[in-house]
């Protein structure tokens, strides 16, 4: 029997083989269609219960099976899974359109929606009804039959193109390696980076050292290597992913995705894809997003130009560098930081053994929200690297199942993310608890050293764990409003706010102990970590703004006149450029956030959420970072509520006021306190 068709609690990874996915998903689509047909065929007049709530409860097994499939396609893929994904994605797209373009079903939802003022619904029920109605109306329910056919074709094409885009980036990342045989070429590299590269070479059956485009290999080399030519080689290879004249080139995919999104938005009556997306965001309109980004740009650019000029002078004085290039930036910035703050990652890494950092973030969760994490090896997982836990609340009841997957491997895409295998919901009086996962790409342990994290990796772990808390502490009736099912520019608040704890003495002393001596991180290093938080903040802000502006350039207007992806990107980056351009590289062809993931017309949300998180953490700082009253308010009004209310209403309930943008600018050191 196909395990995906049986009822299960935790995902039965060890029982599933690749051949199970396609037949199971086909069967589950058919089962879900029958569930929907039962709603449509119900002879009773449409009510909230027999229509809206019934629709919310359809397709649960399908949702679970597809979550397993697509999570594996990101974290543990192979050519077979990728092949299946190309077949499954259009099937699911067609099914979704069958649902959203079902006239009889929409008529029933519309009847309930139009009578909403005459029936008694609580706030969560009202929100679910509104979300369902908008789901239909924003996805073609009011189109003509001919237009619906066009929409189906667009959605099917987009689902395939986004998959292909991601597969090409992964293939290009895996295809490159820089093989070094002369030890002199490793000058400047930390011992840990050299040892990891030697281990990679050995795994590939080679002598010497092999460096890859995976972040734990790429970042240390470009930050510390004294060999400028090899830094250049690695930097260009990273920037040229899916931009080379081969079968993995993504230029046409970028153009097709952007144009299809615009066509879809136009078909639905919107001026652009961004207008369509932002209607369901806190930011509301492209004009507000651009105004927000431009306002930050005005504040950040003078600081960034000043920092960049200092960096150029420093590189010239140190190594007679006449023209600072992209492959020089991280290297000289690190040297300048070491000189100015006497701080570098190699001094910090011994205090950030992965297991200790995990214990640290668990302790923070316990102090703030009363959660306990119990390791449980009996929970099935998809790879031996994955750590599994039962999460218990303050009363000892199960709060969640938690999976953590920390190290890079060939079948895993780069970056870090949080995902879910089972949503939280309250059904038939039972509060069904969620199963959530975080996936990262941290340095692997070697023969002589455990996995030691850079401080940036520590903040990444806290960031993704913040997302997972949003899932674990969910406490809503309906799965469609639970956990991270919130406006996209609100979803980053729980993750980004938790990063703040990494900079605090009270937190660091909980877990930052030297992996060999057990010594607690010294006060002077804590002080330097705090100081480093604003080092080159102008340049960092400019970089993030450049990505947001590029995203809006692609999605805020008709892209049909764009023929040259590289040229368009260069123009979009115009006001934010610091380094000379390199013709061999193009960011768009590997910009997975917006061309594969869910951040199209939404990349600005990282900076938007920073305004929220800076203001929120200012409240914690004022009352004490482990203050129970403030933590309870954050849990009760933000983490547990999901999308049951307007996000600004939830924020004001927590904070007592709307967020103050000055808090972000002050924290970043871009304005005086």
pLDDT, tens digit (0-9, with 9 covering 90-100), for 374-421: 999 999 999 999 999 999 999 999 999 999 999 999 999 889 999 999
CATH of 350-501 given 3.30.70.1140, 3.30.420.40, 3.40.390.10, 3.40.980.20? 3.40.390.10
> In degrees, to the nearest 5, what angle opens at C-alpha 27 toward C-alphas 59 and 165?
80
Closest C-alpha to 613, from 548, 650, 663: 663
> How much is the pLDDT for 652?
96
Predicted local distance difference test score (pLDDT) of residue 672 = 66
Helix (H) or strand (E) holding 570: helix 565-572
Cα 429 to chain centroid, rounded: 33
- Provide the residue ranges of all domains of the chain, joining segments of one domain with +: 3-142, 178-239, 350-501
Q: What is the predicted pLDDT for the residue at 98?
A: 93
Do the Cβ atoms of 222 and 331 come closer than 8 Å?
Answer: yes
- What confidence score (pLDDT) does residue 544 get? 96
Please tell me the predicted confidence (pLDDT) of residue 346. Answer: 85
Closest CA to 435 of 370, 477, 479, 369: 479
CA–CA separation, 668 and 666 (whole Å):
5
Joined tokens for residue 37: 């047909």
Q: Which parts of the chain sit beneath pLDDT 50?
A: none
Fold exhibited by the domain 3-142 = Glutathione S-transferase Yfyf (Class Pi); Chain A, domain 2 (1.20.1050)
| pLDDT tens, position by position, 8-55 | 999 999 999 999 999 999 999 999 999 999 999 999 999 999 999 999
**Which residues, at least 6 apart from 454, have a Cβ–Cβ distance to it below 8 Å?**
219, 345, 348, 349, 352, 443
* 435-439/398-405 β-pairing: parallel
Q: Are 636 and 370 in contact (CB under 8 A)?
A: no
Q: Which of 521, 235, 243 is nearest to 357 (CA)?
A: 521
Task: Based on the residue annotation, tell me whether 464 is a catalytic residue of this protein.
Answer: yes
User: What count of other Cβ atoms lies within 10 Å of the Cβ of residue 232?
Assistant: 16
> Per the residue annotation, which of 76, 172, 334, 464 is the catalytic one?
464
Polymer length of the chain: 673
* Sequence-distant contacts of 42-47: CB under 8 A, at least 24 apart: 45/111, 46/108, 46/109, 46/111, 46/112, 47/112, 47/119
Instruction: Say how far apart CA 489 and CA 647 lie, in whole Å.
Output: 9
Taking the model in full, what pTM does it have?
A: 0.88
Helix (H, G, I), strand (E, B) or coil at 502: helix
- At residue 670, the pLDDT reads 80
CB 177 within 8 A of CB 204: yes
Q: How far from 606 is each of 361, 437, 547, 622, CA to CA, in Å?
A: 22, 21, 10, 24
């Amino acid at each position: 029997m196909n395990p995906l068709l049986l009822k299960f609690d935790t995902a039965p990874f060890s029982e599933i083989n690749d051949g199970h996915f396609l037949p199971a998903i086909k069967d589950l689509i058919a089962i879900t269609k029958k569930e929907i047909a039962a709603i449509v065929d119900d002879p009773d007049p449409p009510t909230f219960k027999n229509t809206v709530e019934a629709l919310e409860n359809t397709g649960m097994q399908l949702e679970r099976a597809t979550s397993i499939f697509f999570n594996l396609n990101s974290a543990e893929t192979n050519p077979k899974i990728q092949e299946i994904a190309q077949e499954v994605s259009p099937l699911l797209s067609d099914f979704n359109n069958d649902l959203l373009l079902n006239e009889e079903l929409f008529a029933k939802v519309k009847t309930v929606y139009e009578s909403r003022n005459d029936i008694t619904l609580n706030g969560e029920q009202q929100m679910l009804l509104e979300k369902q109605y908008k789901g239909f109306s924003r996805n073609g329910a009011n189109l003509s039959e001919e237009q619906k056919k066009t929409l189906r074709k667009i959605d099917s094409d987009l689902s395939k193109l986004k998959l292909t885009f991601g597969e090409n980036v992964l293939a290009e990342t895996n295809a490159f390696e820089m093989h070094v045989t002369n030890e002199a070429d490793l000058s400047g590299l930390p011992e840990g980076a050299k040892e990891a590269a030697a281990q990679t070479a050995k795994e590939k059956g080679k002598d010497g050292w092999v460096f890859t485009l995976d972040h734990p290999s790429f970042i240390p080399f470009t930050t510390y290597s004294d060999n400028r030519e090899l830094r250049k080689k690695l930097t260009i290879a990273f920037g040229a992913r899916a931009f080379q004249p081969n079968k993995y080139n993504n230029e046409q995919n970028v153009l097709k995705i952007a144009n299809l999104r615009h066509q879809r938005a136009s078909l639905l009556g919107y001026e652009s894809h961004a207008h369509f997306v932002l209607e369901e965001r806190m930011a509301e309109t492209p004009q507000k997003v651009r105004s927000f980004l431009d306002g930050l740009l005005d504040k950040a650019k003078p600081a960034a130009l000043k920092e960049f000029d200092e960096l150029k002078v420093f590189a010239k004085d140190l190594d007679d560098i006449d023209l600072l290039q992209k492959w020089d930036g991280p290297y000289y910035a690190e040297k300048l930081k070491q000189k100015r703050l006497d701080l570098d990652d190699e001094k910090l890494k011994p205090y950030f053994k992965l297991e200790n950092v995990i214990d640290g973030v668990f302790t923070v969760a316990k102090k703030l929200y009363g959660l306990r994490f119990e390791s449980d090896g009996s929970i099935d997982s998809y790879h031996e690297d994955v750590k599994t836990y039962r999460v218990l609340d303050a009363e000892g009841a199960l709060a969640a199942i938690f999976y953590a997957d920390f190290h890079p491997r060939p079948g895993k895409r780069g970056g870090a993310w949080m995902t879910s295998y089972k949503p939280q919901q309250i059904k038939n009086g039972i509060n069904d608890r969620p199963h959530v996962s975080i996936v990262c790409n941290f340095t692997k342990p070697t023969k002589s050293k455990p996995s030691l994290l850079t401080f940036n990796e520590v903040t990444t772990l806290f960031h993704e764990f913040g997302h997972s808390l949003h899932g674990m502490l969910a406490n809503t009736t309906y799965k469609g409003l639970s956990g991270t099912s919130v406006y996209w520019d609100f979803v980053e608040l729980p993750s980004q706010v938790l990063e703040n704890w990494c900079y605090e003495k009270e937190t660091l002393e909980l877990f930052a102990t030297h992996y060999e001596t057990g010594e607690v991180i010294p006060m002077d290093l804590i002080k330097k970590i705090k100081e480093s938080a604003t080092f080159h903040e102008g340049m960092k802000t400019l970089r993030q703004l450049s990505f947001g502006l590029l995203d809006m350039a692609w999605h805020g207007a008709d892209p049909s006149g764009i023929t040259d992806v590289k040229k368009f990107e260069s123009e979009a980056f115009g006001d934010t450029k610091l380094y000379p351009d390199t013709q061999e590289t193009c960011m768009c062809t590997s910009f997975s956030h917006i061309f594969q993931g869910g951040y199209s017309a939404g990349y600005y949300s990282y900076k938007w959420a920073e305004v929220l998180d800076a203001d929120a953490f200012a409240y914690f700082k004022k009352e004490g970072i482990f203050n129970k009253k403030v933590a309870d308010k954050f849990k009760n009004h933000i983490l547990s509520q999901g999308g049951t209310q307007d996000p600004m209403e939830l924020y004001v309930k927590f904070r007592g006021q709307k967020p103050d943008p000055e808090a972000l600018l002050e924290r970043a050191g871009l304005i005086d306190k």
